[in-house]
Structure 1
Amino acid sequence: MRRPLIALLAALALAGCSAGAEGEADAGPAGPADGSGPITLVIGRDTTSYLQPLLDRWNRDHPAERVTLLELPEAADEQRAQMVANLQAKSDRYDVLGLDVVWTAEFADAGWIVPLDRSLFPLDRFLQPLVATAVYRDKLWAVPYTGNAGLLYYRKDLLAEEGFAPPTTWAQLREQARALHARYGIGGYAGQFLAYEGLTVNFAEAVQSAGGGQILSTDGTQVTMDSGRAKVGLDFLVDGFREGWIPSESLSYKEEESRLAFQEGRLAFARNWPHAYGPATQSEIAEKFAVTRLPGLDGPGSSSLGGLNLAISAYSRKQRSALEFIRYFTGLENQRRVLTDGSFPPVWAELYDDPALIKRFPYLPVLKESILSAKPRPVTANYEQVSLAIASSVSNALTPPFEESSGDVVASMRNQLNEIIRAP
């Protein structure tokens, strides 16, 4: 993974400017920023305890550039809040930042992270939708570390009992969910419907899967979702709650609640990320479930892209070591361990086609299809405001007594989004 030192220095000469996308951000800390030495990796809480052994491998080979792991809270919004507080203070405590894929534009625009030299990374061997999440205004600001896409978890034993094939359309999902709810007394379907980022994800997937396009343009300057198709997508969710095959308690579900409901046998279908697969194989439904792509209006749907990217703080004084560490940590062999030791989706395309890995992780082919057909969430420096506006609007539509029509909710949402993206 090592390249000639001159290449790294050239990359850091560019990165050391620490300028934001507009070239007007603060230039970083006083003194040289491209030094080497011990660094700190700041990332969300490691719930599977896989990270430290991977860091230990680096530390054994780089005793003068040891990496210290600093874990932030599990919730993404709390992670962001702590990172932003540090970066706004221009602190050099953080070196490598583990960023949710939706934060790239905001952090780049603010001048909190440095641009990277594309030639230092084998990006052509990564899944390309994941690479796109690290690019903003034609510059690479981070390197993909893990990917993610939503999957439909289903009870294959119950479907077999009723003679159903896994659903590929919303109509099939509705029919099967209603039938299984009535016959077995369990919830038909659930996703993440609490008013938080997860609801934004579920709504974006409904819009895309109804053929409504992306919510914002790729440059984040226009609201581009088709209102009619967005209404169709929202109606799919609203009708599920109104008709009862989406249980009302799922209005409080985040990822963990929906995972537990499915693996405890309380749901026939559940939308969730791949991380829910491993625990389900150790549960009472271990031999009774499978996964497929999310269904859509007329066929397989489109997931929202998830995952984590690694970026370098503009205020780090150890940017040379940070860059080398990112190159190592996103390398092929380490990415294999990200999957085998952490059960997180890797970013290298070839790992999804490895027969030995597929035998151990049977969902890999489906996950690869899901990532390749997935769409990024709205790309904008004001993402947090955009997400809050979407989640709040959709939550109101899904909550009884369903007084506001889906068309009115979508129209109001469009107005809010226009105000946010046009704000100075």
Structure 2
Amino acid sequence: MTLARLRVLLLAGALLLSGCSLPAVSATDGPGSDGTGPVTLATGRDLTGYLGGRLAAWNATHPAEKATLIELPEAADDVRAQMISNLQARSDRYDVLNMDVAWTAEFAAAGWVRQLDRNDFPLDKFLPPVIDTATYQGRLYAVPYTTNAGMLYYRKDVLDQEHLAPPRTWAELADEAKTVAPRHGLQGYAGQFLPYEGLTVNYAEAVQSAGGQILTGEGSGVAADSAAARRGLDFLVGGVRDGWIPKEALSFKEEESRRAFQDGRYLFLRNWPYVYDSAQAQGSAVAGRFGVVPLPGPDGPGSSTLGGSDLAVSTYSRHARSAQRLIQYLTGLDNQRQVLLKGSLPPVWAELYSDPELVRRFPYLPVLRQSLLSARPRPKSPDYDQVTLAVSEIVHDALSQNRSPGETAARLTTELNAIIRNP
């Protein structure tokens, strides 16, 4: 099935289900009540179990605004699908939505989440880049809750033996991956290169590290054929062509790439902070033998893609005032500390990244802070699901050496223009 045909089917399905969207309203407006009462928090599966304790603490002091956790599936695509099904039905079952940061534009444009007042939240205490993930067309529709940025994991023991520093530039990364890795029986570099959301992230990081972007503005134009964007694509395609990105990595998602590095098979790995604790755990082949630095770029440190999640109030919530209060509670400093300590998720409060106790427990925090401050959101678009589908499929075709970077950039431009011009 062609991408164009698939896009038509996706759009047709969306039109059949969506109906008319409602305009965003203030989160203090609660239809049919004063906006207070019991609320629900809809989220992807809580793998660490920390959210239950956070909501129990809220419920102990807010008995009239009891919060109930609704756990959706683990996979982000399934979470999004269930949330959209609920919202398109105008159901009031979900009050607070824990959304992937890439969904804000889509949910806001559809009128599914309520516009919020910036003055109601301590945004000035957050890492500046994360706030952009919660806005659409200059308005706040969610509140940053957790964040994330890609980092470069490297075999410190191997580079120390070679008297080499970890790479800061693409040229250094490619050289060390091509020459040092084979001398130590290792593969060069692993990222997330299967055709899914992870590949869109890896490609976006290469493009923005080169000074480019995939979409301009908030999805109003396409820049995939710019010189900077082509330079980012050339970096990845050239890595596969020259062998320092092995072909097996074209089938890697986060966990496959983590295991490959943790089993001691790779010199370099691009992945999220969650890998650190796992790679240091007992039984890991690289425990005590690796380090972490910001992703390299063409001429120095590059730019990561922002991950994480934002909290929003459903337009159809009957208790929107209580829903906003719950968001204020979950994004407060004390809970943000627990997000890291109990949930192993990067918080959005800037001061936590220099907290001595936390840095001792999570030694990567200073590097993560540096990576977050230079990170950028994924392309903003109300049609992001179609954008990422097109990007991942087309870029994977290029990495598989089926199309040249020039042909790929032209194809990306055509496909993405068709998406953003035919909403």
Is it true that 1:376 corresponds to 2:361 in the alignment? no
Report the more deviating stretch, 42-51 or 138-147.
Answer: 42-51
Deviation, 1:163, is: 1.4
CA RMSD of aligned residues (A): 1.8
Distance in structure 2 (CA, Å) of the matches to 1:67 and 1:258: 37
Partner of 1:350: 351
Distance in structure 2 (CA, Å) of the matches to 1:291 and 1:403: 33
Matched residue type, 1:348: W
Contact 1:103 1:383 in 2 (8 A): yes
Partner of 2:216: 217
Deviation, 1:59, is: 1.7
Distance in structure 2 (CA, Å) of the matches to 1:209 and 1:308: 23
Contact 2:225 2:413 in 1 (8 A): no
Is it true that 1:312 corresponds to 2:306 in the alignment? no
* SS of alignment partner, residue 381 of structure 1: coil
1:257–1:34: structure 2 CA closer, same or farther, 3 Å change rule?
farther
Partner of 2:46: 46
Matched residue type, 1:357: L
Partner of 1:230: 229
TM-score (norm 2): 0.91
Deviation, 1:126, is: 0.6
Deviation, 1:227, is: 2.2
Report the more deviating stretch, 318-327 or 37-46.
Answer: 37-46
Give runs of ≥4 in structure 1 deviating > 4 Å: none
Partner of 1:5: none
Unaligned residue ranges in structure 2 (runs of 5+) = 1-20
Query: Can you list the C-alpha shifts for 1:278-335, whole angstroms capped at 9, x where unaligned?
Result: 1111023220111100001111110111110000111111111111100000000110
Contact 2:33 2:318 in 1 (8 A): yes
* SS of alignment partner, residue 342 of structure 1: coil
Query: Can you list the C-alpha shifts for 1:90-139, whole angstroms capped at 9, x where unaligned?
Result: 11111110011111110011111001111110101111110111111121
Partner of 2:251: 252
Deviation, 1:191, is: 0.6
Deviation, 1:344, is: 0.8
Matched residue type, 1:364: L
Query: Can you list the C-alpha shifts for 1:365-412, whole angstroms capped at 9, x where unaligned?
Result: 11111111111111110111111111011010111xx24210110111
Distance in structure 1 (CA, Å) of the matches to 2:311 and 2:251: 31
Contact 1:33 1:316 in 2 (8 A): no
* SS of alignment partner, residue 309 of structure 1: strand
Distance in structure 2 (CA, Å) of the matches to 1:416 and 1:266: 37
Distance in structure 2 (CA, Å) of the matches to 1:94 and 1:275: 28
Query: Can you list the C-alpha shifts for 1:158-199, whole angstroms capped at 9, x where unaligned?
Result: 111111100001111111112233122222111110101110
1:63–1:369: structure 2 CA closer, same or farther, 3 Å change rule?
same
* SS of alignment partner, residue 377 of structure 1: coil
Aligned pairs for 1:186-197 within 5 A: 186-197=186-197
Matched residue type, 2:396: S
1:335–1:286: structure 2 CA closer, same or farther, 3 Å change rule?
same
Contact 1:19 1:114 in 2 (8 A): no
Is it true that 1:206 corresponds to 2:209 in the alignment? no
* SS of alignment partner, residue 153 of structure 1: strand
Aligned pairs for 1:394-413 within 5 A: 394-399=395-400, 402-413=401-412
Contact 2:218 2:379 in 1 (8 A): no
Matched residue type, 1:264: D
Report the more deviating stretch, 72-81 or 321-330.
Answer: 72-81
Contact 1:114 1:313 in 2 (8 A): yes
Identity %: 60
Distance in structure 1 (CA, Å) of the matches to 2:78 and 2:181: 36
Distance in structure 2 (CA, Å) of the matches to 1:208 and 1:61: 45
Distance in structure 2 (CA, Å) of the matches to 1:371 and 1:34: 39
Deviation, 1:34, is: 5.0
Matched residue type, 1:332: L
Contact 1:33 1:315 in 2 (8 A): no
* SS of alignment partner, residue 274 of structure 1: coil
Aligned pairs for 1:141-220 within 5 A: 141-211=141-211, 213-220=212-219
Distance in structure 2 (CA, Å) of the matches to 1:173 and 1:31: 56
Contact 1:262 1:270 in 2 (8 A): yes
1:91–1:174: structure 2 CA closer, same or farther, 3 Å change rule?
same
Report the more deviating stretch, 58-67 or 253-262.
Answer: 58-67
Partner of 2:422: 423
Deviation, 1:19, is: 4.5
Aligned length: 399
Report the more deviating stretch, 61-70 or 108-117.
Answer: 61-70
